[in-house]
Structure 1
């Protein structure tokens, strides 16, 4: 659920407040003022907007499955199966006979949920202001759905659809904010899919966590730009190509010739020598070579080693994971092409189905207007 972004770890520190503790002892009441931290969700799993919307959708459309009594009944059935009193095939069939029609009905008739919430009216345009879940995450909108001039703005990372106010939503539309020129390039501060950032020409620099883009000045933007340039400056060269280093989602890394190379704890990341850098790059190159089982360049097809002893076939955006019982080294080009052909028609059929669905929806909309 974390990988699907249904929940995230909370970051709110909370606030300290005083409270009075009254104690009755031996017929006397004593009073003591204590402090406590309230409102903190730091380290706790907190539902995201998409998590809340998905949960509401499931509760609305699969009420029986999400009911606590259903879970209790399933646990009871499992106990009966374990004791040999119930045939598990029968139990699963009974469940499927009820669940499958429910899925089909929802698939055909349920409306797409967006968690839309109307906040009020924009005082400048007189248009409605709403928030909802969009393609790239939670967003605010000024204007009706069919308004060709409607405008959008991404919510900040610490905002959510359920609690944002009209005033807070309207502030989002003050971005992007032009800060001026630095080193011949325009500087702009804005908020996007991955949070607030400073744009310096074609370079995007994320703001530190908790920093409000509305408070960013030209001087502050210059600081961030200088820090970024210093961090991105090459630390060495290898085969006439610059080597950069950084710290990402999976830890410290080197970047060379478009290749990202993880730097493990064996190395002193802050004091990498030229020999360390060469070793890391050459090891990575060799690993990339070693994982290739077949490479049919003209056809654009590769068979490579994957994790957990598996292999994978790739051609463009098509990716086919092979089971462990398939000897990838023994595969011929014809066999691999056949696998790809079987995979490709399914994608085409899906595309046709999507197009047909859109046409039907468009036809219905036209009929309603008429």
Structure 2
């Protein structure tokens, strides 16, 4: 090639299955001459997406703005209530004639007639009712809106999507280059690139890619090339790749799946996802990937082949939905005993039957009677079935010291580890799960570690210091007072010195909360609280009038305040701890 040298990246169309095949191919490439065999240039068009439905708005705002499903609906609700957008719970992709005409005016006046192409879309969603128009700004000529930053961003997204839906297609030129070898007619390298000839709707609404690699491939610009052109390889790499498990759902991805399966309506997507998280069947979080090794072969420019083992971390998950132990157990139970109701088609079929009721084709009483008759029998049958196997129970092994069985199961307050059984003479011992452990993966060693607590660390101020673990996590106990152990500190290895530091740190915090106390009334304190200073006396809190300075309060004044508030019945809440129902 004439002029400055350039670099292009091409990929082999047929992938080697083994390391032996890859080595043989690289060996062949050593003596090969590379040239461009074919260049195919074809025009292509990109069509704008339909205006937003509830589902697509939730998905796109999650991808572009990072909003959760419930957050998107809350912001959209505020925009709707203030008259800025149309109703936000809809499965329709249609725009009214008024909206289409408004889009026409906006597009022609701001961008020109060449950008205009009106159209109506057809929904492909299973069981869509299309009772409302697609989500769009109430007044299309208003490109922006007032309000919070979040409201402005969501409005901008809705406006751009609605306007783009009535704009011309983007015109592209896609180029595919095939590179051949003079000593191998079977294997070919290919590379692709594209050039935007007319941006069309992309002028307003840029395409968004979940896959960065896809975006890189689509936007790659190619240098001037011609058939028969001789190329030199800089380096040729062969990288070992492994099959990845399917990615877990994000909130937006779960919405898309619910819509595909016909489960629920636009108004139920966000509440459904919020409910399974509130009930702790599912938790949203991040997971670090696992590090593994892979083989890496490189043919350099001077003809040397290097063979190395490299490491990488794969499978990391960010802001994904993970089933909890309780969620897995509940799902297994329902799937085993109510398979027809847990079937994906059940909800969709019921939705159709409800539509028939709404259309006057079926009686709702008949529908409910038919369902309940079989459902009631199933419930009665399951209640009558006595299973010796506890919910989610798994036997891990035997405790070496006592010879008793070690098991895990779901208890009243979540997953628990148990040593012994109810049939033993001694009562079984129980322990909570450490964070990060699950019913399915916990080992015998990890379970036994949980019973190493509580443990005595030593004495401080003539009182014993104990570290243990409770319902809210690990703690240090000293003189009947508790201090939480930080998440980054392992309670199994914490030292007495570290525990004393935690105790002293808590005391310092408590001192800052105390404004004033009275030796003659040990149960009386003036304290700093979350909502300002207050009086604490015999387990009850009292407000301090705004015209008084807390530090200057005398005992007689405080007692008068307490007396007045008790007489008026304005005494604030006394702390109460209600027992949980069995």
Indicate the TM-score class for this superposition, using the shorter chain for normalisation: 0.5 to 0.7
1:126 aligns with 2:403: yes
Deviations 1:98-134 (A, max 9, x none): 1122222223335484311111222333332211122
Quick one: which of 341, 351, 354 aligns to 1:75?
351
Quick one: which of 205, 216, 219 aligns to 2:483?
205
Larger fraction in strand: 1
Asked whether the 8 Å contact 1:189–1:196 carries over to 2, the reply is yes
Asked whether the 8 Å contact 1:10–1:45 carries over to 2, the reply is yes
1:242 aligns with 2:525: yes
Distance 1:134 1:157 in 2: 16
Distance 1:142 1:38 in 2: 35
Quick one: which of 270, 285, 292 aligns to 1:10?
285
Deviations 1:258-300 (A, max 9, x none): 35799xxxxxxxxxx849x99xx99xx69x94699xxxxxxxx
Give unpaired runs (5+ residues) of structure 2: 1-275, 298-309, 544-548
Structure 1 residues 102 and 254 mapped into 2: Cα distance closer, same or farther (>3 Å)?
farther
Structure 1 residues 194 and 64 mapped into 2: Cα distance closer, same or farther (>3 Å)?
same
Distance 1:221 1:48 in 2: 32
1:256 aligned residue:
536
Distance 2:324 2:350 in 1: 29
1:89 aligned residue:
365
Max Rg structure: 2
Distance 1:197 1:126 in 2: 29
Q: What is the CA-CA distance between 1:9 and the residue it aligns to?
A: 3.5
2:421 aligned residue:
144
Asked whether the 8 Å contact 1:131–1:139 carries over to 2, the reply is yes
Distance 1:182 1:254 in 2: 32
Asked whether the 8 Å contact 1:253–1:260 carries over to 2, the reply is no
For CA contacts below 8 A with separation 6 or more, give which structure has more relative contact order: 2
Distance 2:369 2:386 in 1: 25
Quick one: which of 362, 365, 382 aligns to 1:106?
382
Quick one: which of 415, 434, 441 aligns to 1:163?
441
Q: What is the CA-CA distance between 1:141 and the residue it aligns to?
A: 2.0
Distance 2:542 2:438 in 1: 36
Asked whether the 8 Å contact 1:21–1:34 carries over to 2, the reply is no
Distance 2:368 2:296 in 1: 55
Distance 1:260 1:291 in 2: 7
Q: What is the CA-CA distance between 1:43 and the residue it aligns to?
A: 3.9
- The aligned length equals 274
Give the secondary structure class of the aligned counterpart of 1:199.
strand
Distance 1:132 1:260 in 2: 41
Give the secondary structure class of the aligned counterpart of 1:169.
helix
Deviations 1:60-82 (A, max 9, x none): 22221111121221121122222
Distance 1:255 1:139 in 2: 41
Q: What is the CA-CA distance between 1:164 and the residue it aligns to?
A: 0.6
Asked whether the 8 Å contact 2:466–2:476 carries over to 1, the reply is yes
Quick one: which of 62, 65, 69 aligns to 2:341?
65
Asked whether the 8 Å contact 1:137–1:193 carries over to 2, the reply is no
> TM-score under structure 2 normalisation?
0.40
Asked whether the 8 Å contact 2:287–2:316 carries over to 1, the reply is yes
> TM-score under structure 1 normalisation?
0.60
1:335 aligned residue:
none
1:190 aligns with 2:468: yes
Distance 1:261 1:66 in 2: 52
Distance 1:122 1:171 in 2: 11
Asked whether the 8 Å contact 1:58–1:66 carries over to 2, the reply is yes
Structure 1 residues 127 and 10 mapped into 2: Cα distance closer, same or farther (>3 Å)?
same
CA-based RMSD of the aligned residues comes to 4.6
Structure 1 residues 255 and 124 mapped into 2: Cα distance closer, same or farther (>3 Å)?
farther
Distance 1:131 1:246 in 2: 41
